[in-house]
């Protein structure tokens, strides 16, 4: 998946425990897998989660079965035995934090050695809408200080350039000068105390969750992605176009960005038609 399909390490980290559990449940000989056993595993594994996580389970199992079929380790086409989960695009409202709550989250960073790092991480998430994995994978070579630009490696390893806001750049410099241990690694963000190592996607998510706990904010998503949604809704309410928001968030389809049009509840209430009276 890494070499031929270009999947990121973040996606592979999500797929690995699902595939590992499949091998544990059904055994290490794929030739003995039956459609019934595969369906039962996928349904049981997905039942523990919400819709989007369930779809991830289906995607991981199908991808693994396609690989097994292509390499003749199981009957080709077994991926079609895995049922899909129905969902309708744009059927929900994006889950986000109010602008004041976002500022409270950023301001909550502690005064200890973790504070400068956490603030820089939160600003990258909240101002540029980066994903947790993109923050964890940020390298020194990705920052063009002279031009004020940031290169982001997103989904499918697509590299795109974003402007580096002054606030974010200053937070990064403060972290690098005051808090980052002298670890010889290309990644910008590391742990502060031993064992010192680059941050993982899960560690970035933990930084957001810790900030939400400190502020007592009950977020609709208890993770880093809530700040990505919040960045998009803030840009929309400040007058940014959907095309501009899509460029910052690096959406491949305009339909994905159109999802955020529904957060302008004031405008929606103006154009909504009254409910017809029942005779």
Of 50-59, 107-116, 127-136, least confident by mean pLDDT is 50-59
Classified as helix, coil or strand, 238 is: coil
Q: Got the DSSP string for 191-232?
A: -SSSSP-BPPHHHHHHHHHHHHHHHT---SSSSTHHHHHHHH
Cis peptide before 195 (omega within 30 of 0): yes
Of 5-9, 68-72, 78-82, 156-160, least confident by mean pLDDT is 156-160
Given 45, 62, 228, 229, the catalytic residue: 228
Task: Let me know if 228 is a catalytic residue.
Answer: yes
CATH architecture of 99-264: Orthogonal Bundle (1.10)
pLDDT at 61 over 60: yes
Q: Taking phi first (over 0 means left), then psi (-120 to 50 degrees means alpha), and beta for anything else, what does residue 239 get? A: left
Task: Let me know if 33 is a catalytic residue.
Answer: no
Task: Let me know if 48 is a catalytic residue.
Answer: no
Angle formed by the axes of helices 166-178 and 114-128, nearest 10°: 160
Given 66, 155, 174, 214, the catalytic residue: 155
Q: Using CA atoms, how far apart are residues 171 and 27, in angstroms rounded to an integer?
A: 49
134-187 per-position pLDDT tens digit: 999 999 999 999 999 999 987 667 788 999 999 999 999 999 999 999 889 999
Question: Which structure tokens are listed for 157?
Answer: 């390893």
Given 127, 225, 229, 250, the catalytic residue: 225
Task: Let me know if 251 is a catalytic residue.
Answer: yes
What residue ranges do the domains of the chain occupy? Answer: 9-81, 99-264
What count of Cα atoms within 13 Å lies in the side-chain half-sphere of residue 43?
9
The residue to which tokens 């923050």 are assigned: 135
Q: What ranges make up the beta strands (E) of the chain?
A: 143-144, 149-153, 159-163
1-51 per-position pLDDT tens digit: 888 888 878 788 889 999 999 999 999 999 999 999 999 999 898 887 777
Given 45, 62, 117, 131, the catalytic residue: 131
For residue 60, the model assigns a pLDDT of 93
Classified as helix, coil or strand, 139 is: strand
């Amino acid at each position: 998946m890494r070499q031929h399909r270009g999947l990121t390490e973040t996606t592979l980290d999500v797929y690995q425990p699902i595939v590992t559990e499949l091998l544990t449940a059904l055994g290490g000989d794929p030739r003995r897998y039956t459609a019934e056993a595969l369906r039962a595993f996928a349904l049981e594994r997905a039942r523990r989660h919400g819709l989007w996580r369930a779809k991830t389970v289906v995607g991981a199992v199908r991808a693994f079965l396609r690989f097994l079929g292509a390499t003749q380790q199981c009957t080709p086409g077994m991926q079609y035995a895995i049922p899909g989960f129905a969902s309708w695009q744009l059927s929900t409202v994006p889950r986000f934090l109010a602008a004041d709550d976002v500022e409270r989250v950023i301001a909550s960073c502690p005064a200890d050695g973790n504070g400068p790092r956490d603030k820089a991480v939160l600003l990258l998430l909240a101002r540029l809408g980066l994903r947790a994995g993109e923050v964890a994978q940020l390298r020194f070579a990705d920052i063009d200080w002279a031009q004020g630009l940031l290169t982001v490696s997103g989904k499918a390893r697509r590299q795109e350039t974003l402007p580096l806001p002054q606030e974010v750049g200053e937070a990064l410099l403060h972290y690098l000068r005051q808090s980052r241990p002298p670890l010889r690694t290309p990644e910008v963000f590391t742990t502060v105390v031993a064992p010192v190592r680059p941050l993982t996607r899960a560690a970035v998510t933990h930084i957001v969750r810790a900030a939400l706990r400190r502020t007592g904010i009950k977020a609709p998503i208890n993770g880093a992605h809530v700040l990505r949604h919040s960045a998009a809704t803030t840009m929309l309410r400040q007058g940014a176009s959907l095309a501009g928001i899509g460029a910052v968030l690096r959406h491949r389809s305009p339909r994905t960005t159109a999802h955020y049009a529904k957060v302008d509840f004031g405008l929606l209430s103006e154009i909504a038609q009254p409910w017809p009276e029942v005779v």
